[in-house]
A = this chain, B = another copy of it.
Amino acid sequence: MTDSVLAGIQSFCPTPESVPPPAPLYRLKHPEGLSVHIHPLNPLDFVLRAAQIYPDNLALAHPDVESPVYYTYAVWAQRIQNLAYALIQAGVQPGDRVAIIAPNSSMRALTPHYLPDAHHGALAARAIVTPINTRLTRPEVEYILDHSGAKIILVDYEFVHLVQGAKARVVVSKDTGRPGDPYEEFLSSGRRFSQEKGWQGLQAESNEDAGACLCYTSGTTGRPKGVLTTLRSSYLAAVANAFETRMNPDSTYLWILPMFHAAGWTYPWAITFAFATQITLRTVSYPHIWNHLLNSGVTHYCGAPTVQIGLVNAPEARNLDHPVSAIIAGSAPTAHLIGELEKRGIQPVHTLGPFTRNYFQPSWRQLSHDERSKMRARQGHSFATAQEARVVYAAAEDNGVPSGELRDVPKDGKTIGEVVTRGNIDPEATRRAFEGNHFHSGDLAVWHPDGSIAIVDRSKDIIISGGENASSLAIEQELAEHPDVLEVSVVARPHPKWGERPMAFVVLRSEAIQRWARKHAEFAANLKQHARGRLPGFACPEWVEVVPELPKTSTGKILKTQLRKLVAKL
């Protein structure tokens, strides 16, 4: 912890209603009729255990704002209880949706301190938390509010315009944690409503397959699509994440990943399961991030590859003197990025949701840094508590695989198929996604002889060049090795002879911008030369465009759809 954080903890005073009564009982009302040896899995249990076992440990710090807040597990649990009662008082019934609209900056993630509250408070009211991406337009937000049937909306003061005219009740947070803040008044009303019945006044959910979190896709095409996780799937994924990343009561997690992104990859609960501390930031910038990595004892953070690229290339980047685990998911990282993180002392934990993880092999210790980075960039094997991830042929008449049947591709490191899995995962509401009773990820991958999976592309991003399948990801991996390339994205562009050819959009490193100024054609030739030594002819980029930045979704995924629109106009 920095000195200013320590001073903040000393001087901060939670609202009176956030302070628990003496000797609180962390016990929900048991549902009737349950067999004694079954306890329905529910990630709400974690915060009750944390408050009981480590009441004075710092649960949540929100330091870099005008009104910083610091909550111990005892205080935070009381606030969660207050929120649950406030929701019930507001008419929220079991199964109802509680929407939450929290800001994110132009960069991407921005987490006000009250966002983790909702992931627990809604569950304590047996409701479903529905975090909404604020990058969406007002009509999109309206669609989600309508589609989810949200009973109540918790909204940040900066985003009230998105919910004007909403039918549901709106509670605004000024992100202060101080009396007078409407969100604080809401919590306090919950405390009064509870009449000190405490946790015993709240019923435990008896059905572990009840909903936990309803997230919507960031919708690159069409309407946002809702994905509902269950209490059981959230519980098992959170436990697996805490285990796989070795979190413990001494760990500190920094919120860089937006919490509205796939239930924050279940970290709102994984952190609590491990009794760790979480730091939320209202302004997520690289100077802030590096300040915390260097000075706040941060041990864990999550981020999509594009965030990690910015992070290792920020001017504030330094070599770390304590171990930090960076969980990478969301899209496939390049081997180059993995290597750069390691050089800073950051250990990449590379996952594909709670489906697969790259497991470090003892034999990799003999490899060169570059070779090892390539191995670590593979998506690997099935995750703890998950079932086997497979790579299968697309069902199609021309390859003889009937619809509904799954056939594995050979484990040859070459044949491209789609990643499918099954198990305690999120039931997604599309028929296509469940063909053959497996969840179809839409990720194209090869299967290596050691059983590890390596994604080569999203199914819609593959480039068919002269009849060959060129993986845009493989091309990006090689172009990212060029010393002047900060970030690169490759899409298909129509070609009269070859059908399609790869076109690369490149963001230069800051130190290279000046050097190549007004010499982009020269740079393009230089990059193509670089590619020719590393890629087959059909995969070499035919065109290279230098751009100041790449279009991205609010979760940091590169918007290839927008690049394709640019290409279409060429």
Hey, which bits of chain A sit against chain B, CB under 8 A? 23, 26-27, 30, 34-39, 45, 48-49, 52-57, 209, 230, 233, 239, 242-243, 246, 248-249, 273, 275, 359, 361-363, 380-382, 384-385, 387-388, 411, 422-427, 434, 437-439, 449-451
Contacts and interface: CB of A to CB of B under 8 A. Distances in A.
B388 A37 contact: no
Nearest to A382: B49
Given A26-B388, A243-B243, A437-B30, A381 B57 contact: no
Contact of A381 (B52, B233, B242, B451): B52
B36 A427 contact: yes
Given A53-B451, A243-B239, A37 B382 contact: no
A239 B385 CA distance: 9
Nearest to A357: B53
Contacts of A450: 55
Contacts of A422: 30, 36-37, 39
Contacts of A27: 388
A37 B438 contact: no
Nearest to A24: B451
B246 A38 contact: no
A433 to B, nearest CB: 9
9 contacts: A27-B388, A36-B422, A36-B427, A36-B439, A37-B233, A37-B424, A54-B359, A57-B362, A242-B243
Contacts of A449: 23
Nearest to A51: B451
Interface SS of chain A: helix, strand, loop or mixed? loop
A383 to B, nearest CB: 9
A367 B105 CA distance: 46
Contacts of A439: 36-37
Nearest to A273: B384
A252 to B, nearest CB: 14
Given A26-B388, A359-B54, A362-B57, A381 B38 contact: no
Contacts of A411: 23
Contacts of A380: 53
A273 B383 CA distance: 11
Contacts of A30: 422, 437
B359 A53 contact: yes
Contact of A37 (B56, B243, B423): B423
B381 A37 contact: no
Contacts of A248: 246
A53 B23 contact: no
Contacts of A209: 38
A266 to B, nearest CB: 15
A394 to B, nearest CB: 18
Nearest to A32: B437
Given A242-B243, A243-B243, A37 B426 contact: yes
A363 B239 CA distance: 26
Nearest to A408: B25
Contact of A39 (B48, B56, B381, B423): B423
B382 A52 contact: yes
Contacts of A363: 56
A284 B175 CA distance: 61
A103 B439 CA distance: 47
Contacts of A273: 384
What 7 A-B pairs have minimum CB-CB distances, sorted nearest first?
A: A39-B423, A37-B427, A53-B381, A243-B243, A53-B359, A39-B387, A52-B451
Task: Count chain B CB atoms within 10 A of each CB in A233, A242, A275, A388 and give the residue with the most.
Answer: A388
Contact of A38 (B38, B49, B424): B424
Nearest to A362: B57
Contacts of A57: 362
A45 B422 CA distance: 13
Contacts of A48: 388
Given A36-B422, A275-B359, 12 more contacts: A27-B388, A36-B438, A37-B230, A37-B425, A37-B439, A48-B388, A52-B388, A53-B451, A54-B359, A56-B362, A246-B248, A273-B384
Contacts of A233: 37
Contacts of A56: 362-363
Task: Count chain B CB atoms within 10 A of each CB in A37, A48, A249 and give the residue with the most.
Answer: A37
A382 B246 CA distance: 20
Contacts of A38: 209, 423-424
A407 to B, nearest CB: 13
A439 B438 CA distance: 38
Contacts of A387: 39, 45
A265 to B, nearest CB: 17
Nearest to A25: B408
Nearest to A410: B23
A255 B322 CA distance: 34
Contacts of A359: 53-54, 249, 275
